[in-house]
Structure 1
Amino acid sequence: MARIAVIGSGMGAMAAAARLAVAGHRVVVYERTATYGGALRRVERDGFTFDTGPALLPLPAVYRDLFVKTGKQPLEECVDLVQVDPSARHLFADGTEVSLPNASRAGVVSALDEALGAGTGGRWGDFLVRAREAWDRTRRPLLEEPLWPNWPVLAEQEPYPSVPHKKLLRTRRAATLAEVGAWELREPRLAALLESHALAYGLDPRVAPASAAVLPYMEHAFGTWYVRGGLRELARAVYERCLARKVEFRFGADVARIVEKDGRAAGVELAAGAVEEADFVVAGVAPGVLRDLVPQATVRGDGEVPPQSGAPSRLTVLLALRGGRPERVAHRTVVHSADRDDELDRLFGERPGLPSSPTVVVTRPDDPATTPDAEHEAVTLSVTVPSGFSVSDSDVERVLGVAGRALPGLRERLLWHEVRTPADIADETGAEGGAVPAPALAAADGRLLHPSNGTRVPGLFAAGGWAHPGGGLPHAGMSGALVAGLIVEGPEFRGSQ
């Protein structure tokens, strides 16, 4: 039985802790804040309850596998997991809208044809077929296996089978997601629909590789899911599974450094001065935090995937509204920007700031647990913003103005609102500027890969959204599975079968 110290209690770190404990190891989690869950936090006020992190769960199979491998109770006995239908409602800048059924290709094709014109659904359906091919090519190396030592192969090869496109007497293939939208979908609203999936993960579609097509494909193929009570309930269930497996949690335990002995990780030193010995250390922290914990050693060296930098953050506005949730309202509505170029320049260009017309995601769960009674509604607004962005009152007013397109009578219904800024995310996760990591993607010269779960310090491993396979709830869960496999089986571990 090995002694294992886990730094941080985000979803990836807890997934690793539960799997390592069930393998017979003694696991202690050191969390500098007062609670677990990383970005999966909750705000409660006046009987209203809000998620402040992810609002929906794609690819729930990752957490189903975690619960199968770590105990007798399956995931569905620990949380109330429900499929959201429609998957999303999209409000476009020209006033048209479409509601897309959950995990139904035929339904999506029909809805798009009816809303946007004959032929649009077919083009989107054909795109999903190509996106599936990219998914099939990258699923194992980017989600289920440790990062390949020859990772440049993933960086160089574009797995998305772009359609040949003739332009100026030349035949070209889409290399970016924006080019896929322009050349293959050939409809501005379809392109906006495609690009919204990248924007939700903080990716610039103008430079994101065509392989980012797997992001809308994941949602289409595996559905979008909600946990009754909010996604914080998923974090609670994973935490309780850790406790059932005898994982020990120490909250308010700020780790000052990782202790090394004979050239390998040998424990952690707390800010209070105590040294806790361990045979392995799992760090579920942001890259800057990890560097500070081992200043005397090179954690990531030349020739390895470097940690991502410059990832955007998220602005969240929590709304307590008078009046109950109307029937047949979509759980999620995407209000698209009226000026796509200005939005992308503000997010990713040299003029950082909130655009005049940001894309706003409006979340309206049909969940009595989120409100004091049936005569009120809890709504969350989410906007991608630059990391480190300082939010002003006028920024919040702009977001409320855009959200009013999806929420008629918003101003009259508003009891109060709370704002969660990049600074709040930084406080909760330790990520510089409140940056939110994106999932790993192939191609793009490796810019969207994440560092491997192993490090140059023997005995030190990295889990969570800032390590392979990157950000997002499914990816964080898989990072925990990969770290557990590498510790239990050793470097010969090749992933789940």
Structure 2
Amino acid sequence: MGRIVVIGAGLGAMATAARLAVAGHTVTVYERGSTYGGAVGRFAREGFAFDTGPGLLHLPAVYRDLFVKTGKKPLEECVGLSQVDPAARHVFADGTRVDLPNASRAGTAAALDAALGAGAGERWSDFLVRAREAWDRTRRPLLEEPQPADPKPLAREPYPALKAGLLRRPTTTLAQVGARELAEPRLAALLDAYAWSYGFDPAKAPASAVVLPYMEQTFGSWYVAGGMRALADAVYERCRERRVEFVFGTAVTEVVEEAGRAVGVALEDGRTVPADHVVSGIPVPALHADQLVGWEGSEEWARHQVLGTSRVTVHLALRGAREEDAAHRTVVHGEGGRPTVTVLRPDDPALRPDAEHEAVTVTATVPAHPARDWEEYAGLMVEAADRAVPGLAGRLLWRHVRTPDDVRADTGTAEVPGPALAGAGGALLPAANVSPVPGLYFAGGWSHPGGGLAHAGMSGALVAGLIVEGAGFRGSR
């Protein structure tokens, strides 16, 4: 068995570390910050607590598998896990509201018919049938298998879009899918909202982004008691049980290479740590920008310099109890210059001082590198959130704003990666788990299969498989 060095202590990196430790490797994680979790952080003040990253979990089977493969206690014995129902409440620009049930195709169709008119549910259901085709065509290569050496087949659009117009023009973007196939502005806005929530502009996202609503509405949305930070705590504890060593407050300054292969890392204190394999869990752009590896001239790097999107998050401390019919998640669609925002209102005593207060998180997707007044923008977000939280303005005790600069401080880059998507000429395929430098592997949201809690966990399984089984590893079946 070998010595493994892991750079960074995000969820993908820790998932890799736990699996490799179970396989008998000696694993050490070096994290420049003072804690683990990466983007899955927590902000606490005056008895209120908030997730600073993702607020919901999709595809919990990924973490169930991690806990089954790395110890005796299953995931549900380590964290409280519950389905969110309704999965989301949508408040459209015209004031229409609809509650979408969790993982119920028939229930969703009925809710859409009731809110948007007869036929809306059928159109959405027909669309999801086509979305399933895209899911079935891409699920294994995008989620469960290492990225193929030749990813060109994934550059082709897998969504069987309906043809439109006399010339039968092809549908190339998600926005076009909504306009041509859903035939109802609010249904199109519903589809767009899924793209924005994952950091994609629907006008630019490929049609294959239809897999995002399909995934959520098929497998459901889940909440971890105590917030998503509790999931990071559980994965960290599992790593410690498997004798993974963590070294915090210690930055890696270089991936050491000999004869063209990664053989260890150099630390900021001048030490060099030898390793048989190095796993980088930090963002690929940060890995390159900080000159930790010397492959800036490669074609591989050029594919990962495209600027993406980031998040602005506003944490709201409110006086007054949460009303009984409040939705855990409400998407307030943009109008009149206000952005589309996601409002999270978990009914969780661990996040508030007492039953007479409430902790609310409001999030919006923004360009990663804009120059703007974030406090002013946060004000627009809170105005939008007022449509989801009755009497919000009068209940507000204080607010805390997290900007793209805070995202950069936590993760090394302001951008928040989205999940891998087929189509778009391959532009939305992340870095392969096997890096251009032999012996160096990529795990986490900036590597295959992309961003998100579930995807980060999948990257850990893929990297561990590639190291343990070698180049012949083809994924789990």
TM-score by length of 1: 0.94
How much identity, in percent, do the aligned residues show?
62
Please say if 1:160 is aligned against 2:142: no
Counterpart in 2 of 1:223?
A: 220
Shift of 1:172: 2.9
Shift of 1:494: 0.6
Please point out which of 391, 397, 418 is paired with 1:409: 391
Please point out which of 344, 349, 354 is paired with 1:363: 344
How far apart, in 2, do the equivalents of 1:429 and 1:393 lie? Answer: 22
Shift of 1:290: 1.5
Counterpart in 1 of 2:108?
A: 108
Please point out which of 286, 290, 296 is paired with 2:287: 290
- Matching residue's letter, 1:417: R
Shift of 1:399: 1.3
* Aligned partner of residue 171 in structure 1, secondary structure: coil
Structure 2: unaligned runs, 5 residues or longer: none
Change (3 A) 1:277 1:41: same
- Matching residue's letter, 2:383: G
Shift of 1:397: 1.5
Shift of 1:164: 2.3
Is the 1:300–1:456 Cα contact (8 Å) retained in structure 2?
no
Please say if 1:462 is aligned against 2:442: yes
Is the 1:299–1:457 Cα contact (8 Å) retained in structure 2?
no
How far apart, in 2, do the equivalents of 1:97 and 1:51 lie? Answer: 26
Deviations 1:273-322 (A, max 9, x none): 11111111000111232225656632783368821521110000001101
How far apart, in 2, do the equivalents of 1:393 and 1:481 lie? Answer: 40
Counterpart in 2 of 1:394?
A: 376
Please say if 1:123 is aligned against 2:101: no
Deviations 1:390-444 (A, max 9, x none): 543322211111111111211110111111111111001001xx11001000010
Change (3 A) 1:472 1:493: same
Counterpart in 2 of 1:343?
A: none
Counterpart in 2 of 1:180?
A: 177
How far apart, in 2, do the equivalents of 1:220 and 1:199 lie? Answer: 16
Counterpart in 2 of 1:76?
A: 76
Is the 2:300–2:436 Cα contact (8 Å) retained in structure 1?
no
- Matching residue's letter, 1:337: G
* Aligned partner of residue 50 in structure 1, secondary structure: strand
How far apart, in 2, do the equivalents of 1:447 and 1:300 lie? Answer: 19
Counterpart in 1 of 2:234?
A: 237
Equivalence map 1:263-282=2 (5 Å): 263-282=260-279
- Matching residue's letter, 1:422: P
CA RMSD, 1 decimal = 1.4
Counterpart in 2 of 1:453?
A: 433
How far apart, in 1, do the equivalents of 2:37 and 2:312 lie? Answer: 19
* Aligned partner of residue 66 in structure 2, secondary structure: helix
Please point out which of 345, 356, 377 is paired with 2:358: 377
Change (3 A) 1:250 1:301: same
Shift of 1:63: 0.7
How far apart, in 2, do the equivalents of 1:235 and 1:213 lie? Answer: 29
Q: Which region of structure 1 is more displaced relative to structure 2, 419-428 or 382-391?
A: 382-391
* Aligned partner of residue 490 in structure 1, secondary structure: helix
Counterpart in 2 of 1:418?
A: 400
Is the 2:264–2:275 Cα contact (8 Å) retained in structure 1?
yes
How far apart, in 2, do the equivalents of 1:102 and 1:332 lie? Answer: 11
Is the 1:178–1:206 Cα contact (8 Å) retained in structure 2?
yes
Is the 2:287–2:293 Cα contact (8 Å) retained in structure 1?
no
Please say if 1:331 is aligned against 2:311: no
May I ask how many residue pairs the two structures share in their alignment? 476
- Matching residue's letter, 1:333: T
Which structure 1 residue ranges, 4+ long, deviate > 6 Å from structure 2?
none
* Aligned partner of residue 307 in structure 2, secondary structure: coil
TM-score by length of 2: 0.97
Counterpart in 2 of 1:350?
A: none
- Matching residue's letter, 1:483: V
How far apart, in 1, do the equivalents of 2:324 and 2:280 lie? Answer: 45
* Aligned partner of residue 164 in structure 1, secondary structure: coil
How far apart, in 2, do the equivalents of 1:252 and 1:141 lie? Answer: 36
Counterpart in 2 of 1:17?
A: 17
Is the 1:257–1:292 Cα contact (8 Å) retained in structure 2?
no
Counterpart in 2 of 1:151?
A: 151
Counterpart in 2 of 1:430?
A: 412
How far apart, in 2, do the equivalents of 1:377 and 1:420 lie? Answer: 19
- Matching residue's letter, 2:203: R
Counterpart in 1 of 2:50?
A: 50
Structure 1: unaligned runs, 5 residues or longer: 340-355
Is the 1:313–1:385 Cα contact (8 Å) retained in structure 2?
yes
Is the 2:253–2:268 Cα contact (8 Å) retained in structure 1?
yes
How far apart, in 2, do the equivalents of 1:171 and 1:106 lie? Answer: 31
Shift of 1:489: 0.5
Change (3 A) 1:437 1:406: same
Change (3 A) 1:299 1:64: farther
